[in-house]
Structure 1
Amino acid sequence: MPSAPTKLYADDVSLLVVLLDTNPFFWSTSSLPFSKFLSHVLSFLNSILLLNQINQIVVIATGCNSCDYIYDSSLSTNPGIENGKLPALCSELLKKLEDFVTRDEQLNKQQSQSLPPTTTSSLLSGSLSMALCYIQRVFRSGPLHPHPRILCVQGSSDGPEQYVAIMNSIFSAQRSMVPIDSCYIGSNNSAFLQQASYITGGVYQKPQQLDGLFQYLSTVFATDLHSRTFLQLPKSVGVDFRASCFCHKKTIDMGYICSVCLSIFCKHHKKCSTCGSVFGQAQTDVASASNLKRKTPES
């Protein structure tokens, strides 16, 4: 009996875009080995595919200097289970992930030869942009599509220099009604991911026991958007809404905001470095100087 086309895109069908942090600076100091981390993630991705045969998974690797697609279940030639193995999910993902880590490491060495490394954060803004671009292609592919959501599995600290790009991605996801879930495995909380999950209606979770990472992923982040209305999922508490200044890329509690372009600065400036607007006292000084020049010839 043929199934109805509408059942292919039911309420419980999900498009999950997973952003994996592959930053070597973080994993070299983490108590959880990267190989064990991958085993937890692969088990989680397998469970998503087992929940519904038409669920779709896209994995994006996030490095220090680049990000790239490393797995797409819709393009996989053999996404199912054969003889108790998962050849497509494991072999394809691990092979592309290895190639990506090698390319990102080479790019990091090339940049470090010309300029000293200034940050050890991951390129989260780039992977978020790639995830949203992929979701927009799905939206425009036809009237029927799975319900998309983004899951950030992040361990690196926030990069203040990415503040503007990340906030633009967050507001774009909010406008498209795409929730951003966050599983942060670093030592401290991530202000960027806290804001992303809070603004877009996603879930922010910081596992207390990294050895049980699969349990956190499967119980909190495996649920589809329709089922979440019936579940009591963790809620964000104590979200850090502090912004980063545009001048020094530092997180600040109080600062100065340009009334034209809304750029944030930690110190007072005479002129906005973003849009070129002249600020209050500077405008008064310029007006006084121009008036003085007009009066000088008359005197």
Structure 2
Amino acid sequence: MAGSHLSVVIDLSPSQWHLSSLHQPYPLDISAFISQLLAFLNAHIAFKHENTLAVFGAFPGKSTLLYSSADPPAETPSNDANYFPPLKLVDSTMMHRIVQNLETLTQNNGDDKAPSALVGALTKALCYINRLTLEFNAATTNATEGLEPLALPDSRILILSVSPDQTASYIPVMNSIFSAQKLKVTIDACQIYGPDTVFLQQAAHLTGGSYIYLERRDALLQYLTMAFLPPPSVRQTISVPTQDKIDFRAACFCHKNIIDVGFVCSVCLSIFCQPVPVCSTCRQVLLTKFPFKTLQRLNAARSSLPSSPSQPRNSSAPSSPQKTNGRTPSRTEAPLGPGGLPHSGSISLNNSTTNGAISSR
């Protein structure tokens, strides 16, 4: 059995970690986090000799590679009988580069409150795994015989986040999810501080990984060991904790806001929070015009929807369709687009179907 590769993406936003250290009843500062993270990484390295590791740091405005077992640093750790040399190398290299990047951020007067480059670190992790996959295929006979390239066995990415969702990064996150599916890479996510992240939930669900919201942050090492240490091949025989409910909402392409109900272009599937006469995404390729009567009917249906799935419908809403010009709007009046769907159809993004909205599942 081949070894398992683990790429870890850690959120190193100083402002968010400062808030995490003040949060009660379970405060967790960045020093305690790194200490428990290093113990988890050492466990992965010691689990099997063939296991490989890569750690990427997401700092405010930039992402960088902190450690790679495929490209070990030139310096060697000092001889110490109390430390196993490979584990000592991981600890010393990561601590040195984290401190170096934080000092550089301070010296350059960088904005420590800027959003962390979590998507950039995730993209670099996927590129790193793709490079290992190419090297793995070059070392096998399948590549020389012209057979289909093999995926790197048991490759996975673990994202440790303390920042909320960045709605502007919705499209890059979805592209990363599709790339992970193509490479057969499992994405695990752990939200250590802050609200639940919609995008990380979807990334873990669509790639067969686990998403955990950390409620007891003083037990971080136990969460990491029990949920994220077993490789994907072992998880088929054990029960890995995960979250039952997944938030499938998306971000609109116009204002980058996470929405419950959106209007979808039938040509390029772009999502908008309001009905638009012309799709702003595919108009350069195919001018998609939506009938004005269809937009009026969809806008009227949207105004009668409840504000959230858990809230009851407004009692002041009419129980029967409103009449315009003496006629009752009919659903069949709208011209149909590809696949039998109306142009600029209304799609529900919260797994519910209301007022003729199309469920996303």
- The TM-score normalised by the length of structure 1 is 0.82
Q: Deviations over 1:165-198 (max 9, x none)?
A: 0001011101221100111112321111110110
Alpha-carbon distance in 2 for matches of 1:25, 1:260:
42
Could you tell me how far 1:104 is from its partner in structure 2?
4.5
**Cα distance change of structure 1 residues 126 and 252 upon mapping to structure 2, 3 Å threshold:** same
In structure 2, C-alpha distance between the alignment counterparts of 1:87 and 1:240, rounded to whole Å: 40
Matched, 1:245 2:252: yes
1:128 Cα deviation from its structure 2 partner: 1.3
Q: Quote the residue 2:348 is aligned against.
A: none
1:70 is the counterpart of 2:66? yes
- The CA deviation at 1:260 is 2.1
Output the amino acid matched with 2:273: C
Q: Which residue of 1 aligns with 2:92?
A: 91
Secondary structure of the residue aligned to 2:6 is strand
Cα distance in 1 for partners of 2:80, 2:271 equals: 55
Q: Mark the runs of 5 or more structure 1 residues left unpaired by the alignment.
A: 1-9, 285-299
SS of the counterpart of 1:151?
strand
Residues 81 and 181 of structure 1, relative CA distance in 2, 3 Å threshold: farther
Deviation of residue 21 (structure 1)?
0.3
Note closer, same or farther for the CA distance 1:225–1:79 as it changes in structure 2 (3 Å cut): farther
Amino acid in the other structure paired with 2:30: F
Paired residue type of 1:19: V
Matching of residues 123-142 of structure 1 within 5 Å: 123-142=117-136
CA distance in 2, matches of 1:162, 1:105: 25
* Alpha-carbon distance in 1 for matches of 2:108, 2:292: 43
Q: Give the whole-Å Cα distance in 2 for the aligned partners of 1:280 and 1:274.
A: 14
What is the rounded CA distance, in whole Å, between the counterparts of 1:224 and 1:42 in structure 2?
A: 18
Matches within 5 A, 1:188-267: 188-267=195-274
Distance 2:174 2:96 in 1: 32
Partners of 1:264 and 1:80 lie apart in 2 by 56
The within-5 A match list for 1:1-299 is: 10-11=1-2, 13-30=3-20, 31-76=27-72, 82-85=80-83, 86-104=87-105, 109=110, 120-143=114-137, 146-276=153-283, 277-281=287-291
- The corresponding residue for 2:346 is none
Question: Is the 2:278–2:290 Cα contact (8 Å) retained in structure 1?
Answer: no
Q: Residues 70 and 96 of structure 1 are in contact (CA less than 8 Å); yes or no, is this contact kept in structure 2? A: yes
Equivalent residue, structure 2, for 1:295: none
Name the counterpart of 1:297: none
Structure 2 distance, partners of 1:56, 1:265, is 42
Task: For 1:154 and 1:80, locate their aligned partners in 2 and report how far apart those are by CA, in whole Å.
Answer: 32
Higher relative contact order, chain-length normalized (CA < 8 Å, sep 6+) = 1
| Aligned equivalent of 2:302 | none
| Mapped partners of 1:79, 1:282: distance in 2 | 70
Q: Secondary structure at the match of 2:261?
A: coil
Measured after TM superposition, the shift of residue 101 of structure 1 is: 2.6
- Tell me the residue number matched to 1:7: none
- Distance in 2 (CA, whole Å) between partners of 1:51 and 1:259 is 49
Q: How many residues align?
A: 268
1:207 Cα offset (Å): 2.1
Q: Contact conserved, 1:21 with 1:122, CA < 8 A, in 2?
A: yes
Cα deviation code 1:25-74 (max 9, x no counterpart): 21120031100000010000001011012211100001221111010122
Amino acid at match of 2:202: Q
CA distance, structure 2, for counterparts of residue 89 and residue 63 of structure 1: 19
Contact 1:59–1:71 (CA<8 Å) still a contact in 2?
yes
- Match of 1:291? none
Give the number of the structure whose residues are more often helix, by fraction: 1
- Structure 2 Cα separation of the partners of residues 21 and 205 of structure 1: 15
Distance 2:15 2:178 in 1: 29
Change (3 A) 1:66 1:165: same
* Paired-residue identity, %: 36
Query: How much does 1:233 deviate?
Result: 0.8
Structure 1 residues 108 and 122: CA distance shift in structure 2, 3 A: farther
* Contact residue 124 and residue 166 of structure 1 kept, 8 A: no
CA contact (8 A) 2:282 2:288 kept: no
Inter-partner Cα distance in structure 1 for 2:118 and 2:103: 18
Q: Judging changes above 3 Å, is the alpha-carbon distance between structure 1 residues 165 and 84 closer, same or farther for their aligned structure 2 residues? A: same
Against the structure 1 CA distance between its residues 79 and 125, is the aligned structure 2 distance closer, same or farther, given a 3 Å change threshold? same
Structure 1 residue identity aligned to 2:92: S
The answer as to whether partners of 1:121 and 1:158 remain within 8 angstroms in 2 is: no
In structure 1, C-alpha distance between the alignment counterparts of 2:106 and 2:176, rounded to whole Å: 26
- Structure 2 unmatched runs, 5+: 21-26, 141-151, 295-361
Q: Secondary structure at the match of 1:189?
A: coil
